[in-house]
Amino acid sequence: GESVGLHLPTLSVQEGDNSIINCAYSNSASDYFIWYKQESGKGPQFIIDIRSNMDKRQGQRVTVLLNKTVKHLSLQIAATQPGDSAVYFCAENEGNNRLAFGKGNQVVVIP
Amino acid sequence: KAGVTQTPRYLIKTRGQQVTLSCSPISGHRSVSWYQQTPGQGLQFLFEYFSETQRNKGNFPGRFSGRQFSNSRSEMNVSTLELGDSALYLCASSQEPGQTNSPLHFGNGTRLTVT
């Protein structure tokens, strides 16, 4: 992904295993959170979102968990595939579509 | 539906020049946002437009400006380019702000290199 650079946390996972990516957010007033996936040479791609009135939301092979008490988000990817190799970002909506992004986590899937 | 389209894909400019980047949102999307992405700073918000009005602006100098047209297409301009402006500039669109489940959808960006 484009933000891959120095000191990007990296998660190496065996193909077929589950992946968990964690993210801490800063604003306790944020009410909408989004996970994005960014592959090399591409823009961030929407994966899944969650509102603050929920603590869990499931999509296709992905689950987002929200813990407002500790301001923590996680993204779980089931049965990780080689195509899941990318940089993953969490983002919180600060209002009027102003997103504050985390630094990103690199996921490397080992075949 | 076509995605967010950004042109040009790559651009090389020299210091002191200015540049204009273009973005066509997803059909029906009225909000357009711009972000700068660099390895050091990550993704940073530049500004957001809705109905041709800038509603929100990030912490960038006045050399960075933008506008939105009546068809929701948007442009951003950077004047007096500096080496540090080298980055991937991303445009994102969404449906009318305030709607539930209205995530931003990003284009693939314009890679600007300033020499």
Q: How far is B38 from chain A (nearest CA, A)?
A: 6
Cα B36 from Cα B47, distance rounded (Å): 10
Cα B6 from Cα B107, distance rounded (Å): 6
Cα B88 from Cα B109, distance rounded (Å): 6
Average pLDDT over residues B92-102: 72
Interface test with B, best of A45, A98, A103 (most B CBs within 10 A): A98
B40 contact A CB<8A: yes
Of the listed ranges A2-6, A11-15, A84-88, B3-7, the one predicted with least confidence: A2-6
Cα B67 from Cα B81, distance rounded (Å): 18
Supply the pLDDT for residue B97. Answer: 61
Q: Which residues of A touch B (CB under 8 A)?
A: 2-6, 34, 36, 41-46, 49, 51, 89, 91, 95-104
Cα B86 from Cα B89, distance rounded (Å): 9
B11 contact A CB<8A: no
* pLDDT at A1 exceeding the cut of 50: no
* pLDDT at A89 exceeding the cut of 50: yes
Q: Tell me the two tokens of residue A36.
A: 């994005």
Cβ–Cβ below 8 Å for A96 and B38 = no
* pLDDT at A100 exceeding the cut of 50: yes
- pLDDT band of A90, cuts 50, 70, 90: very high
Residues 6+ apart with CB under 8 A from B13: B19, B81, B112, B113, B114, B115
- Tokens 């909408």 found at: A32
Asked if the peptide bond before residue B103 counts as cis, ω within 30 degrees of 0, the response is no
Cα A65 from Cα A57, distance rounded (Å): 7
Write down the mean pLDDT value for chain B. Answer: 93
- pLDDT band of A8, cuts 50, 70, 90: confident
Supply the pLDDT for residue A97. Answer: 79
Cβ–Cβ below 8 Å for B104 and A49 = no
* pLDDT at A68 exceeding the cut of 60: yes
Residue of A nearest to B6 (CA): A43
Question: How many helices (H) and strands (E) would you count in chain A?
Answer: 0, 10
DSSP for residue B26: P
Residue type, B104: L
